[in-house]
Amino acid sequence: MKSSMSSEKVKFDVVVVGAGPAGSIAALIAARAGLSVALIERGEYPGSKNVSGGALYNTKFLDELLPNFWEEAPVERYLTRRVISIMSDEAAVSIDFKTANFAKAPYNGFTVLRPKFDRWLASKAEEAGALLIPATVVDDLIYEGPGGGDSYAPTTRRVTGVRTRRDDGDIYADVVIACDGVNSFLAKKAGLQREFRADELTLGVKEVILLDRKTIEDRFQLTGDEGLTTEYLGQPSGQVFGGGFLYTNRESLSIGIVTQIKDLADKRVKPYELLEQFKRHPSIAPLVRDGVVKEYSGHMIPEAGLGMMPKLYTGGMLVSGDAAGFVFATGLFLEGMNYAMASGAAAAHTAIEAHRARNFSAEQLSMYQRKLEKDFVLKDLKKFKHAPEFVNNPRLQNIYPEIMCRIAEDLFRSNGRPKQKVLPALWKEFRQGKISLKSAIQDAYEGGRALLW
């Protein structure tokens, strides 16, 4: 890695802001192509400020970039089991899927702990030649062309670097890749992103609970390094829009809830209280019993899908990862790291082609969006564009879980009375008036549109 340095100016071919999965992958690919790359991270080390449930999917992509990465990377367990659980106050109805086919390389997914995994991934970018600059806050963008202040005029100005909170902290670059998280300061500074509404963001709070390996494997019916993820709908977040998760690590559990920020504020609920309530649920308490809380963390998550995606490029700059809203949250799927890495890769390849053409204009960099449209990232977000609205349906959050659990109790209760069939039990719920048949039909249509067809 080489950079142009003098007493007055430090310049790289590419500056990546944020050493999460998107940023580290972008830096790795650009450095491998021979470009000079600076990878700037505000935390003391990559991963120190990054939080997620901890499930990494689409490992084929990472395997192609770093063959057999799982032999070296600090992954916890490979995922062979996935559970979707719908909870009422006292019960849960679950879909439990397990397959031996996911226990074969290159594996379908892993659980990871972000402080370890992100640090390792950033080290791969360093090995490729990128310069990691940790503990550094980026305060502003540097522009070339007429126009000053905070106004943005794409036809007259091009981003040419970043201004950091360091002495002589201006760092110049032909391309800046913003991977600075959901509330991306740089995307907003460049005029690419609007201010978000509180109902477009969720807050995830998470605990890592220590349990010995044998207890985890016995309790969750796992063998060796097998692992599972469970997503919970309904009661995990109480009366607040959201859900919960529980993932198995090698010698710990990652457990948390994800709640809509607007609903939290409107109902004046503290997220850590909801997490404690979740842990006391009859279906959760036995799973975390005797565990010791090792850490607690929180993180904002973009969950409005295409509705909150910024413009992804301008002259001299690209936006990737959470900063671009690339999180896939549908209730059935909850993924983010793989979308971040794929977008970081697309950004790096766009920067490489721009350097070959010696053209860093918005028109040249627009190929970034075209790359994403051909890949799974934007295809998935477009295919499931109605999912965020459906998931935040208050009936789906608070009424249907109760109905499903109550019907299950009626069906499976043995009390000396004649057994019920499913449709009569369902019709009994409609007669009780908690939900109308019309609303149920409308919700079924919305659910089908969001997830089925």
Helix ranges (H only) for 227-291 are 261-267, 271-279, 285-288
Tokens of 316: 């001299």
pTM of the predicted structure, to 2 decimals: 0.91
Average pLDDT over residues 432-444: 82
Measured distance between the N- and C-terminal CA atoms of the chain, rounded to whole angstroms: 48
Convert the pLDDT of each residue in 272-325 to its tens digit: 999 999 999 999 999 999 999 999 998 888 877 788 899 999 999 999 999 999
Out of 22-26, 99-103, 145-149, 330-334, pick the least confident.
145-149
Band of residue 153 on the pLDDT scale cut at 50, 70, 90: very low
Residue 393: phi and psi, rounded to 5, are: -65, 120
Could you give the domains of the chain?
4-74+113-196+308-383 (3.50.50.60), 199-302 (3.30.9.90), 389-452 (no CATH)
Average pLDDT over residues 207-218: 97
- The whole-angstrom separation of Cα 372 and Cα 369 is 5
Convert the pLDDT of each residue in 64-92 to its tens digit: 999 999 999 999 999 999 999 999 989 99
Q: What is the DSSP pairing of strand 242-248 with strand 252-260?
A: antiparallel
Residue 311: phi and psi, rounded to 5, are: -65, 130
Largest CA distance in the chain: 88
Q: In which element (H, E) is residue 97 found? A: strand 92-98
pLDDT at 100 over 70: yes
In this prediction, residue 152 carries a pLDDT of 40
Find how far residue 148's CA is from the centre of its chain: 35
- The whole-angstrom separation of Cα 398 and Cα 238 is 8
Give the type of residue at 171: I
Q: Are 49 and 220 in contact (CB under 8 A)?
A: no
Average pLDDT over residues 30-37: 98
Average pLDDT over residues 406-435: 78
pLDDT at 146 over 60: no
Contacts of 370 (CB under 8 A, 6+ apart): none
